[in-house]
Chains A and B, each alone.
Chain A
Amino acid sequence: MREQLHWENEALRAEMAVLRAENEQLRADERWRAQRQGLVEAELGHLVRLRVASQRLHETLHPLELLDILRDLLINLVGSETLGIFEREGTELVLRVSLGIDAERFRRLPLEVDGPIGHSARTGASWLEELMEAGSAQKRTDGPRACVPLRLGGHVLGMMVLFGLLPHKPRLAPEDRELLELLATEGGRALFCARGMAAGKPS
């Protein structure tokens, strides 16, 4: 009898050890699934931002409405409330839409202007402060933090300039750069179409 109890006890101990191991495995699986879910939701969020931007850019064929939409995207998806959006007219950039900046100071900028705005306008290449200057947060003045040309087929049609980000957003994230790149190309295409319609002919 005593021996039988001993063996039953041993069997129960062994069973408990197996259950403990299974439990530990289930916990590990749960942690992995939660981590995966976080990554998938983060990726989904990023893709949704791109999709929202793309959809909104094709909501209008009026140039000024389009620039207002661009401003709304920069505020709500990128996180800037000090910005200017310019259209290119000949050898100048003309400020069409702005927020939180001295509009008079930036009303018309020659393409030859020194600094990142002029450089981006001439070359068609985006300029993002964080990419160009290490430790730039300490060196910052009131200059731009990002200059992103609205471009189509190598032509610069306009320019989005971010002069600052929201206080709780210290820097542009890699996802923001991807979004800005989409705004540059899709925005350029949309602006070209809208201008064509405004001029009375399809582009």
Chain B
Amino acid sequence: MARKKILLVDDSSTVLLLHRMMLSHCGYELVTARDGQEALDKVSAERPDLIFLDVLMPRMDGFQTCRALRARSETKDVPIILVTTRGEPHYVRQGFESGCTDYITKPFDGEELLAKVRGHLEEARPA
């Protein structure tokens, strides 16, 4: 069975490395992008099964990127998890309005991260 592919979008090397270390040895294939524009450039070729999207990024923030991803046929149904340092309700609402599937607040623990990944990849699995 093909490995599930996860696109990680974050301008922080720390967060990318943390995701990579947590997820790669659980059998997932990982692709990274440093900002929203790079993510949009990569999705057509990479076809990820799940996207982690940081909110505060240069060039194009996570909300804008999320809206742009939802407007594309190849990513309109892909689960998108926003990664944010802000857990306040209005930020969360803004995230859902931009089309995200779920969100996770930094700093997150490994257990929470793996639970989110498993949950959304299971939900996205075709019947």
Contact = CB atoms under 8 A, between A and B. Distances in A.
A59 B105 CA distance: 26
Nearest to A40: B111
Contacts, number: 68
A42 B110 contact: yes
B15 to A, nearest CB: 5
Interface string B97-127: 0000000011101110110000000000000
B106 A166 contact: yes
B64 interface: no
Contacts of A79: 85, 106-107
Interface string B15-55: 10110011000000000000000000000000000000000
Given A56-B13, A76-B12, A77-B18, A45 B109 contact: yes
Contact of A52 (B14, B86, B88, B109): B14
B87 interface: yes
B110 A45 contact: yes
B21 A168 contact: no
B102 to A, nearest CB: 16
A183 to B, nearest CB: 12
Contact of B111 (A42, A72, A76): A42
Contacts of A81: 85
Contacts of A76: 12, 14-15, 18, 106-107
A152 interface: no
Looking at B13, B85, B106, B107, the one whose CB has the most chain A CB atoms below 10 A away is B107
A147 B99 CA distance: 40
A168 B87 contact: yes
Q: B-side binding surface: helix, strand, loop or mixed?
A: helix
Q: A-side binding surface: helix, strand, loop or mixed?
A: helix
B13 A48 contact: no
Interface string B67-103: 0000000000000000001111000000000000000
B88 A167 contact: yes
A166 B18 contact: no
Interface residues of A, number: 26
Contacts of A48: 18, 21-22, 110
B22 A72 contact: no
Nearest to A55: B17
Nearest to A173: B109
A42 B14 CA distance: 18
Contacts of B15: 76
A86 B87 CA distance: 29
Contacts of A167: 86-88
Nearest to B15: A76
A78 B113 CA distance: 16
Interface in A56-76: 56, 59, 69, 72-73, 75-76
27 contacts: A38-B111, A41-B110, A42-B109, A42-B111, A45-B109, A46-B109, A48-B18, A48-B110, A52-B21, A55-B17, A56-B13, A56-B14, A59-B13, A69-B14, A75-B12, A75-B85, A75-B106, A76-B18, A76-B106, A77-B14, A79-B85, A81-B85, A166-B86, A166-B87, A166-B107, A167-B86, A169-B107
